Amino acid sequence: MRDTLSVARGVSWRVLHIFFTNKAFLLPSIAFPLFFFTAFVGGLSRIRQVPGFDFPTGYTAFQFVFVLLQSAAFAGVFTGFGIARDFETGFMRRLMLAAPNRSGILLGYTFSALVRWATVATVVTVVALLAQMKIGGDGVDLFGLYALALFLNVAGALWATGVAMRLRSQQAAPVMQMPVFLLLFFAPVYVPLNLLQGWIHGVASVNPITALLEAGRGFISGRPELTLAAFAIAAGLILGFAAWAVRGLRRAEAAG
């Protein structure tokens, strides 16, 4: 256990050091969620006037939840990019040779994803509050919202880690990114589920991210809904992708 933790600490320190000292990594991670928040809230706020749109705390809060979850998922995915880069530079091979317990490598990358997202989430939250976002939920509700996003962050990191461990190339970036992008955007991003029509309604209804998004919006508006389902889905995603990441690690080990 001590070996695992020491490896995890070393890996996460290195990843976070690179993240916080390199503007090329830090700025896009923060700028992109802010940019989506700005574009959606600023450009599409009139959507709240669409008949049937009755989100109580306004369009800013409605979109904030999406941007928060999106930033969580992508902070995880970006960690996968770093793993792929470490394979290409040969660092991962040296790390695997040196690490007394390689599970610590997974733990370290996952923890660093979490800290990365916490940084981004802080900035996004501050900006949303400056934009006079209304919050209907209490402290417990908000804790639920951020916990849900945290779960999604871990799931995203484990998914991308599994891909990076298997493909071991930065060319795998679209494979890590695209499914997450599609899952997020095939959910009710701009309007509630009941206002979606046609095929997108069908897709969104079976998309697991929809439950997370609706639960998150329930938390921020102070009318929690689908809470159990959302946490069960998030936990399921973590368990499934943890197995995926561990098997990926074993494959990387086997590949030498």
Partner 1 sequence: MALAQTAALGKRAVVRTARQPANVVFPLIFPMLLLAVNAGGLRAETKLPGFPTTSFLAFALAVPFVQGALLATINANVEFARDIQTGFLNRLALTPVRGIVLLFGQLGGLITSAVVQAIFYLAVGLAFGVRLQSGIGGAAMLLLLETAIALAFASLGSWAALRTGSTEAVQGLFPVFFVFLFLSSMNIPRNLIEADWFRWVATVNPVSYLIEAVRALVITGWDWQTIGLGFGVAGALSIVGFALATHALWNRLERT
Closest approach of partner 1 to the CB of residue 220, in Å:
19
Tokens coding 214? 């609706």
In the list 23, 43, 90, 97, the residue contacting partner 1 (rule: CB under 8 A) is 43
Closest approach of partner 1 to the CB of residue 191, in Å:
5
4, 29, 73, 135, 172 from 163: Cα distances, Å:
22, 20, 15, 37, 7
Q: Which is nearer to partner 1, 139 or 198 (CB)?
A: 198
Q: Shortest CA distance to 44 belongs to which of 17, 15, 67, 22?
A: 67
In the list 198, 206, 254, 256, the residue contacting partner 1 (rule: CB under 8 A) is 198
Q: Is 237 in the site for partner 1 (CB under 8 A)?
A: no
| Segment interacting with partner 1, rule: CB under 8 A, options 12-20, 37-45, 111-119, 247-255 | 37-45
Q: Is 123 in the site for partner 1 (CB under 8 A)?
A: no
Q: Are 151 and 233 in contact (CB under 8 A)?
A: no
Q: Is 41 in the site for partner 1 (CB under 8 A)?
A: yes
133, 216, 217 from 221: Cα distances, Å:
11, 9, 6
In the list 13, 20, 39, 143, the residue contacting partner 1 (rule: CB under 8 A) is 39
Closest approach of partner 1 to the CB of residue 108, in Å:
26
Q: Shortest CA distance to 162 belongs to which of 229, 222, 239?
A: 239
| Segment interacting with partner 1, rule: CB under 8 A, options 45-53, 88-96, 149-157, 216-224 | 45-53
In the list 18, 30, 53, 118, the residue contacting partner 1 (rule: CB under 8 A) is 53
Q: Shortest CA distance to 41 belongs to which of 60, 55, 54, 67?
A: 60
Q: Which is nearer to partner 1, 26 or 150 (CB)?
A: 26
Identify the residue whose tokens are 């990843």: 15
Identify the residue whose tokens are 């697991």: 208
Q: Is 134 in the site for partner 1 (CB under 8 A)?
A: no
Task: Give the list of residues 6+ apart from residue 98 with CB closer than 8 angstroms, or none.
Answer: none
Closest approach of partner 1 to the CB of residue 255, in Å:
23
In the list 25, 81, 91, 190, the residue contacting partner 1 (rule: CB under 8 A) is 190
The amino acid present at 240, given as its one-letter code, is: G
Closest approach of partner 1 to the CB of residue 247, in Å:
26
Instruction: Please report, as residue ranges, which positions from 3 to 32 form the binding site for partner 1 (by CB under 8 A).
Output: 28, 31-32
How many Å apart are CA 169 and CA 89, to the nearest integer? Answer: 10
Tokens coding 235? 């936990």
Q: Are 160 and 72 in contact (CB under 8 A)?
A: no
